[in-house]
Each structure stands twice: as structure tokens, then as C-alpha cells.
Amino acid sequence: MVRRIGMEPITSEDLEQAEDVEIVEEKEHWNAYKLKDGSEIRLKLIVTGIKRLTTKWQPDGNPVYLVNSQNVMRLEHIPKNLKAKPKTSTFEPV
């Protein structure tokens, strides 16, 4: 016997009935990471849309939100020994 913990799987019908939720304020911060190889990178999660299910709720009664997002990465510092020689552009200026 399998015992489920949590909520039921989300179906295509659940997604069809989900409501778009407008974002009225946003604060997107960069997360900074220093790597063992000496590199420093920054990452940011950018939310592109949010939906709330109207057919299912979490076990504690809270609504279920679905978030569409993109990750953005910025290289802050790369040690010289990790860099390759830049390639020459093959495009002619306009």
C-alpha cells in the first residue's frame, strides 16, 4: 500500500482553470557565489508569470501557486588562467 504525503498531482484540467495573478510589486536581488576555482558569479531569478490553481489546495489549506521564471547569470570575476583567447569576429561592421 502506497501512502501519499502532500497533495494530488496537478492535471492539465487544473492548469486550464488556473487564474493569472498580476504582480504589483517586485524586488529581484542578485545572489553572489564565490567558487573554489576563484570565479565569482551572480544569479538572479526573474519571475515572468504566476498562476493560482482554483481546483486544488495544499494540505494546510493554502492555495497552490505556479511560477514561470528565468534564471540570469552574470560573471563577476573569472581568473585569467580559466579564460581562453578571444576569437576574432567574422562579421563586418555596418
Residues 31-82 pLDDT 10s: 999 999 999 999 999 999 999 999 999 999 999 999 999 999 999 999 999 9
Distance CA 57, CA 37 (A): 44
Instruction: Provide the β-strand partners of residue 69.
Output: 47
CA angle, residues 63, 21, 32, in degrees to nearest 5? 90
Measuring CA to CA, which residue among 65, 74, 78, 22 is closest to residue 44? 74
**Domain parsing of the chain, residue ranges:** 18-74
Q: What are phi and psi of 59, to 5 degrees?
A: -55, -30
pLDDT of residue 1: 47
Residue 92 pLDDT level (bands cut at 50, 70, 90): confident
